[in-house]
Amino acid sequence: MSATRSLLDFILNLDRLKAVERRTSPAGLSRRENSAEHSWHGALCALLLESECAFAVDAKHAALLFLMHDVPEIECGDTFAYAAARADASALEAQGLQHLLATLPAQTAESLRSLWEEFTACETPEARYANALDRVMPLLHNIHHGGKVWRENGVTLGQIMARNGFIAEVLPRVWQIVLPQIENVFAGARDDT
């Protein structure tokens, strides 16, 4: 197979990310968000929120990390952030990515794998920034929908804080805005019972 043909096949295969459902719904919609929408939205957030990051970051590189981070979900699906199986997700995604990249030219495959690995390791400034954005977006969706997904899945405020407190280190002004909104969602849930 020619390199061009394998790239076109891979590009078409990427379309399958649109069929991977996540738990949250986009703002103003009742249907679930898909992973392709999440990746697109996160990449734009990386470009838009660069000045909010607590440290110097290459927003374009962070956007590339964000675009690549969920590609393996084509093979293994999305794992809910608060699921017990979350610990196994990285290994499943690594296998899925290996399968997806198998027919690409070696240099292209290695470049894409490197982006995914950098995001997953969460060690570089860009990976820390992209990971923080990956956590902010579902929070915003849940806040917008009054905590619907959290309630449906029995997610506690403590779980949200444990998973997302990291945002305060990377995007402190964003966290200062989002945290009271999260707390209000849970305060409202207590008031309703």
Q: Tell me the per-residue pLDDT of 8-41, one tens digit each, with 9 for 90 and over.
A: 999 999 999 999 999 888 888 888 999 999 999 9
CA–CA dist 81, 96 (Å, integer)? 18
192 — pLDDT class (breaks 50, 70, 90): very low
CATH code of the domain in which 125 resides: 1.10.3210.10
146: left (phi over 0), alpha (psi -120 to 50) or beta: left
90: exposed, middle or buried (Cβ count in 10 Å: 0-12, 13-18, 19+) = middle
Token readout for 142 is 């849940």
pLDDT (tens digit, 9 = 90+) per residue, 161-178? Answer: 999 999 999 999 999 999
Token readout for 82 is 């608060």
pLDDT (tens digit, 9 = 90+) per residue, 112-155? Answer: 999 999 999 999 999 999 999 999 999 999 999 999 999 999 99
Task: Tell me, letter by letter, the H, E, C secondary structure of the chain.
Answer: CCHHHHHHHHHHHHHHHHHCECCCCCCCCCCCCEHHHHHHHHHHHHHHCHHHCCCCCCHHHHHHHHHHHCCCHHHHCCCCCCCCCHHHHHHHHHHHHHHHHCCCCHHHHHHHHHHHHHHHHCCCHHHHHHHHHHHHHHHHHHHHCCCHHHHHCCCCHHHHHHHHCCHHHHCHHHHHHHHHHHHHHHHHHHHHC
pTM of the entire predicted model: 0.93
pLDDT (tens digit, 9 = 90+) per residue, 95-121? Answer: 999 999 999 999 999 999 999 999 999
Token readout for 90 is 């990285």
| Predicted pLDDT at 12 | 96
Give the number of domains in the chain: 1
| Predicted pLDDT at 167 | 97
Give me the domain span that covers residue 117. Answer: 3-192
| Predicted pLDDT at 193 | 40
